[in-house]
Structure 1
Amino acid sequence: MKCRMCGFEFDENELENLGCSNCGKHDNCRQVHCPNCGFGNHPEFEEEFEFIVKLKERFKKRKSTN
């Protein structure tokens, strides 16, 4: 997984504690906190964020050709 905040790449399966302990949803928490910056990444949003990044790149290319 790549952290959307700092860009650090890590294997979420190797982390000891995937969710935070203070959110109140500790048993159902699916956030994966980056070991580098602590940002809570949501694995279920990975495909959506990937789509948004590709869309932004497409707009940048289109803007640079005009």
Structure 2
Amino acid sequence: MKCRMCGFEFDETKLENRGCCGCGKHSNCSQVHCPNCGFGNHPELEEEFEFINKLKNRLKIGKKDTNYL
């Protein structure tokens, strides 16, 4: 997994303590906290963020192509 805050890559399956245990959802919490910065990442949102980033990149490319007008 790659942290969306700091970009640090880590294997979430090898973490001893995946979550912060501060939200009260100890058994159902799906957040995985980055061992580098502590940011809570949601594994199920990875695909959605990847789609959004691809869409943003396409829009940026489209803007560059229309700068000649």
**TM-score class, shorter:** over 0.9
Q: TM-score, normalised by structure 1?
A: 0.96
RMSD: 0.6
- After TM superposition, which residue ranges in structure 1, 4 or more long, deviate above 3 angstroms? none
Pairwise mapping of residues 1-66 of structure 1 onto structure 2 (< 5 A)?
1-66=1-66
Equivalenced residues, count: 66
- For structure 1, the residue ranges without an aligned partner over 5 or more in a row are none
Rg (Cα) greater in structure: 2
Measured in 1, the distance between the counterparts of 2:18 and 2:2 equals 14
User: TM-score scaled by structure 2?
Assistant: 0.92
Percent of aligned pairs with the same residue?
76
